[in-house]
Chains A and B, each alone.
Chain A
């Protein structure tokens, strides 16, 4: 699986937008970009995924660069419950593996 690079940690204030970056310069044409998050004392939780176009769902938005070498997970209004480790993962179309990197620890300040 191609490698992703994320900042170790980020901070945000409650009710403000959060932009979590991910670099994946070796992404291949068949790799989807997946995001998961893991809240304290819980298993990982699927957030969103996309291939080329920007994606929105009830949890977040995913903005994908035109060359696909980077992406950004956007939380539109951070809440205290969004404090978690966020993982950006590349996954091949046919792949059953999820290979987690170190992720970004997001802290949300009240």
Chain B
């Protein structure tokens, strides 16, 4: 059982669609993260939110738009994605945005048609 909940588990969308990925944690963690993982590759960091503010953007294309409405919720808004954006998108949280273990969700598997 994971304490970080991601929805939906699977998403198929066309290149012109707009969709959102959702991540929720109720552990009181103040740092939240988005990672992208291609098949048979390690996860790659996309964004870090620290105390509900964006602190790191790893040069992610603007078709990915993160949002942190409150300390428990993290969204990733998707628009005009490309087929190469098909991947597993992982959300994680940690008590604070420093050297603390991160708790991961099981991800949303995204397919772009």
Contact = CB atoms under 8 A, between A and B. Distances in A.
Interface stretch (B62-70, B74-82, B97-105): B97-105
Q: How large is the interface on B (under 10, 10 to 19, 20 to 34, 35 or more residues)?
A: 20 to 34
Contact of A92 (B90, B99, B102): B99
Interface of B: 2, 4, 31, 33, 41-45, 48, 50, 55-56, 90, 92, 94, 97-99, 101-107
A77 B92 CA distance: 28
Contact of B43 (A92, A93, A100): A100
A43 to B, nearest CB: 3
Most chain B Cβ neighbours within 10 Å, of A44, A45, A102: A44
Interface residues of A, number: 24
Contact of B42 (A45, A91, A94, A101): A101
A107 B98 CA distance: 32
Interface of A: 32, 34, 41-46, 49, 85, 87, 91-103
Given A32-B99, A44-B104, A97 B48 contact: yes
B102 A98 contact: yes
